[in-house]
Amino acid sequence: MKGVTTPQLEEIGARVLLANAYHLYLRPGHETVSAAGGLHAFMNWDSPILTDSGGFQIFSLADTLRLSDDGVSFRSILDGSEHFWTPEENMAIQQSLGADITMVLDVCPPYPAEEEEVASAVRRSADWAARCRQAHNREDQALFGIVQGGVYPDLRAESVERTVAVGFDGYGIGGYSVGEPHELMLDSLGPVCAALPADRPRYLMGVGNPTTMLQAIGLGVDMFDCVLPTRTARTGTAFSSAGRMNLKNAKYARDFGPLDPECACPTCASYSRAYIRHLFVMKEMLGAILLSVHNLFFLIDLARKAREAVEAGRYAQMLEEWLAGPGAQDY
């Protein structure tokens, strides 16, 4: 959420923030965050915070990675220094950060990956999940397990079985958004959601595309995280009810209407398309801030509408209307 303040996040209805254990471990250091009173005090946020384990970040740096049953060795992206994490060490780091929800350390293979590599990741992730469960001792923190298995249905099923057997407060669904087609993800996601406990949150990690998010909700997903709304905002792209909008486009130069007439966010209430375009043309950082606020609000509001539709028993109708709408294929 670069460039967005915590009061702005409160104003647009954000309920949970995600912080990354890998990046905080490297800078400023989890000891510094702990000395500040934990993440809530450090960043001035009173509502829930989730920390992911940093496993995805580590395994995305495959050229510096050395993996064993004991843990994972990796090099810092900041200074090249070498570090080694066991599941137990990762739990200690996340507990010192003080988030409300923590995630186990898992092995996240890329796409495409051979079935043998994914099977190894499933086995190791399950072993590490049990060690994380044993090491985690903060009663004021929830701990989520993570399901892996790539796009292999049998391995997904095995990972669900082994992770649920350990027992967690919620379940992350990892190993998606690593390059696979969304259709392939959705085909294997449904059985995973159906097999996970109905009384625990299901958290699809790394997904923030509006259309894919709504399709995943229809399959039983409860939680999402993604850099997409703010990353696209910094490039001048806005989410809207009519699809993506590139505010750098010359056609908006004298368009004095609101960014999205159907949106109730602070940006749409106060600023025109022409003004926001002007900010990007001038490379003024306010443009990225205004679009970040809008894009975050757009997804939060979309999730609110989805909850209301589920509660009213009309979610299938909502999803059908979205998929038939003007913007669905634009995401």
User: What residues act catalytically?
Assistant: 52, 225
Contact 207/226 with Cβ under 8 angstroms? Answer: yes
- Separation CA 323–CA 252 (nearest Å): 26
User: Residue-wise over 138-160: b if at least 16 C-beta within 10 A, else e?
Assistant: eeebbbbbbbbbbbbeebbbbbb
**b/e burial code for range 199-220 (CB count within 10 A of at least 16 → b):** ebbbbbbbbbbbbbbbbbbbeb
Give every CB contact of residue 25 below 8 A, 6+ residues apart in sequence: 54, 83, 93
Give phi and psi for 145, each to the nearest 5.
-85, 170
Burial of 266 by CB count in 10 Å (0-12 exposed, 13-18 middle, 19+ buried)?
middle
Looking from the CA of 168 toward its CB, the CA atoms found within 13 Å total: 31
CA angle 52, 5, 7 (to 5 degrees): 105
Tabulate helix, strand, coil % of the chain (nearest 5): 50, 15, 35
202-205/170-173 β-pairing: parallel
